[in-house]
Amino acid sequence: MHKTSEWLQSFSTSNNPIQRSELRRASDFACTKVSITGGKGGVGKTSIALRTAKELALAGFRTLLIDCDSNLSNTAIKLGLPLDNKFEKILSGEASFQECLIQRGNFHLLPACNGSVEVFESKLNFDEIIIDIISSHEHEYDYILLDCPAGAGREVLTLNAYCDHRWIVVTPDKSSITDSYSLVKLLSTRFGIKENHLLVNMYQSEKQFQKVVLTLSETIENFLGARTHILGGIQKVDVSAEGFDTFFLSENKNEFQRNFAKLLYGFTEKVGGPLNVPKNGIHQLAYEQDVH
C-alpha cells in the first residue's frame, strides 16, 4: 500500500492542497475520479451514481463504479443482481479484482459486501484498500466513480478527498443541507479541499432549487472560502419510492433521463474528462442521440 500510505502521510504534517495536487500530477493519472457523496443518507446517491456510470458507458467512456459502503452495499441490489460478497475474497487475497467485477460493456461495477462477518471483524482500513484498487487499475478506465456512504467518517472523508471531483448530493431537507455543509467543512479544514460540485435532488420547484443552491454555496464561500460548482438539479417526479429506481435506471428513455444526461454532459465538457475523448472516440451522451 505504498501509494496510499504516501498520499495519506502528506496530510499528517500539512493540509496544503498544492502538495496533494502535485502528488497526483507526478502519478500522471489518465482517468477522472469522481465521488458521489453527501452528508445525509437517503438523498439518492446510489441511484445517481448508477445512472451516471451508465450514461458515461453508453457515451463510450470506460467506466468503473465502486460501491464504497463496505458492508451495506446497495448498487447490485438496485440493478436486481444477486448478492455474493465476493469482495471478501479481495480482502483475503483469494480472488483478483477482475474476478469480482460485474461487467456490462463499458460499465464495470465493483460491489462491496452485505452483512459479512469477515468484513465486520476485519482490522483493515477500507479506504486504503479502495485507493490501492484505484491506483492499480485507473489506467484501464476513463472514469472511476465512487458511491460513497453518507456521513463524515474518516474513511468517507479520505475517499472524497482522494478524488478529482466531488458531487455533493443534497435534498431540500434542512438536515441534508446542514450535514452536507459539515461534510464540506471537514474536507476543507482537514484536506484543503476548496472546490466541490453540488447536485440538488428531489426539489419541487425552481424557487426551492435556487434557495438550496444559494443557502449552501454562499455559506460555504463566506465561512470556508471554498467554491461550489452548481451541477444542476433533479426535480421530484410523481413516482412511488419503490418504483423510482425502475423509472430512473430504465433502458427506456424519458424526458427525466434526458435532462439528467444533459446535466452530465455539461459536467464532462467543463472538467474536460480524460483528454475529453473516450478510448473509442465516441463521446456522445445518450440525450444527444435522442435529440438529433
Q: What is the pLDDT of residue 118?
A: 84
pLDDT at 79 over 80: yes
| Mean pLDDT on 89-94 | 86
- Closest CA relative to residue 66, chosen from 53, 83, 77: 53
pTM attached to this predicted model = 0.85
The answer to whether 232 and 48 have CB atoms below 8 angstroms apart is no
Residue 22: pLDDT above 90? no
pLDDT for 242: 81
Task: Output 106 or 243, whichever has higher pLDDT.
Answer: 106
The topology (CATH level 3) of 33-270 is Rossmann fold (3.40.50)
pLDDT tens sequence across 236-257: 998 888 888 888 898 877 888 8
Rounded-to-integer distance, Cα 196 and Cα 45, Å: 15
Q: Higher model confidence: residue 10 or residue 240?
A: 240
DSSP-assigned states of every residue in 96-146: -HHHH-EEETTEEEE---BS-HHHHH--S-HHHHHHHHHHHHGGG-SEEEE
Residue 6 confidence (pLDDT): 58
